Amino acid sequence: MTTELIKEIEKEYLKPEGELPALNPGDSVKVMVRIREGNKERLQGYEGVIIKLAGAGVSKTITVRRVFQGVGVERVFLLHSPKVESIKVLRRGDVRRAKLYYLRERTGKAARIREKTTQK
């Protein structure tokens, strides 16, 4: 009974079905995040590869990795957070694993992920 009650309360905080795209590990995405500086608010894009999907419901998260000035930077985003404005899938990755932690040790061409080709 308590889990049903929790799900019912969390339902109002979930984003609508069509607002979030289908996300998979290996996808290159651009996440637009609301940044607050003083009393001003602006949008900032964070572009990288999804290396991990975790959680379910309101607590569903993605970990996005990118290399900035030669340093690997990973950031975790709550998908249903009001700070996440939008997520755009730039490329679909073709990977065989659910967690892409091996990308942390790879640089340059070794860190490339094949693009998924759609067959009709």
Sheet (strand 84-91) strand order:
71-78, 61-68, 40-54, 28-37, 84-91
Residues 6+ apart with CB under 8 A from 30: 45, 46, 47, 87, 88, 90
Sign of torsion, CA 7 8 13 14?
Answer: positive
pLDDT of 120 reads 55
Measured torsion, CA atoms of residues 73, 76, 79, 80, in degrees rounded to the nearest 10: -130
pLDDT of 8 reads 87
Mean pLDDT by 10 residues, the chain (120 residues): 84 84 93 94 94 90 92 93 92 92 90 81
CATH class of residue range 29-93: mainly beta
pLDDT of 2 reads 84
| Domain limits, the chain | 29-93
Residue with tokens 């289908």: 22
Residue with tokens 């009001």: 82
pLDDT of 38 reads 92
> Are 76 and 63 a contacting pair, CB within 8 Å?
yes
